Amino acid sequence: MVPPWAPALLRTSRALAVEFAGIFRGLGAEVVNVIRGEELLAWTDVLFKREEASDRRLRLAACLLSNIGWREHPDFRAEQAMERVMRMPIVGVDHRARVFLGLALFARYKGNIRSSLVRRVRGLVKAEEGERAVVIGRALRLAHTVSAGVPVALARARIEQSRRELTLVLAPGAERLAGDAVRKALASMAEILGRRPVIATEDKAARAVTPGGRA
């Protein structure tokens, strides 16, 4: 069953995504060079193989909104993104959906998920929903970091998950994408999932990543 608020939420999320693309174009970037929400959805599919249709819609909304804080100061992006998404003027969207998206965007912008701000709102969603929101946010952070927001770069990386490892697999010749920021984003995501972070290329042996972000 489709939640009554789902169509309005996705319409608003898509409208904001178009707005972000237009701003990027005004700064000299082509719209085609901005990652679309659907591309992020597909990139993160591997982590959510058994999700319900309603949960997939929320994940798509998070993907569409994943640039919502780019104009904010880096020190305040997480808080501002969370507040903005929780206050979006969408009639009928329940508190659960707003908190879920707020947590996802907070985690996407490297917010401290143990902060008092998160503790105040996390009780409005089930524990497993809160954990899932954080995983989505950390995955979006990794996707944007490894690609710098460019679709062709995102297409040269993918994630794989096993019982013990979370692996970032890079295409041949794409090793330069695995800078310190990418290593830290991968380690942060793996920590939430309880797995060992690994970086590998299609044609080379895997390399483990330490919690500090270095191989």
- The whole-angstrom separation of Cα 124 and Cα 141 is 24
- 175: three-class secondary structure by DSSP: helix
Tokens linked to 181: 């920021």
State the pLDDT confidence band at 125, using cuts at 50, 70 and 90.
confident
Which CATH topology does 6-149 take?
Answer: Hypothetical protein af1432 (1.10.3210)
122 close to 92: Cβ distance less than 8 angstroms: no
pLDDT in tens, 45-55: 999 988 998 89
Q: Are 145 and 168 in contact (CB under 8 A)?
A: no
Per-residue model confidence as pLDDT tens digits over 12-50: 666 666 565 544 444 444 444 567 889 999 999 999 988
5 pLDDT higher than 70: no
Residue identified by tokens 């898509």 is 14
Q: Give the pLDDT confidence of 61-112 residue by residue, as tens digits.
A: 899 888 888 777 788 889 988 888 888 776 667 888 888 999 999 999 998 8
Query: Cα(200)–Cα(81) distance, rounded to whole angstroms?
Result: 32
pLDDT digits (tens, 9 = 90+) for 137-187: 999 999 999 998 888 899 999 999 999 999 999 999 888 888 999 999 999
Q: In sequence order, what are the residues at sequence separation of 6 or more whose Cβ sits closer than 8 angstroms to the Cβ of residue 15?
A: none
Q: Residue 45's Cα: distance from chain center in Å?
A: 12
- Specify whether the CB–CB gap between 168 and 159 falls below 8 A: yes
Sequence-ordered list of residues with C-beta below 8 angstroms from that of 114, at least 6 positions apart, any chain:
none
Domain boundaries, the chain: 6-149, 156-215
Cα 110 to its chain centre, rounded Å, is: 10
170: β partners = 157, 201
Q: What is the pLDDT of residues 200-215, one digit of tens each?
A: 988 765 555 654 544 4
**C-alpha to C-alpha distance for 179 and 177, rounded to whole angstroms:** 6
Specify the higher pLDDT residue, 128 or 72. Answer: 128
Contact 47, 159 (CB under 8 A): yes
* 59-70 pLDDT tens trace: 998 998 888 887
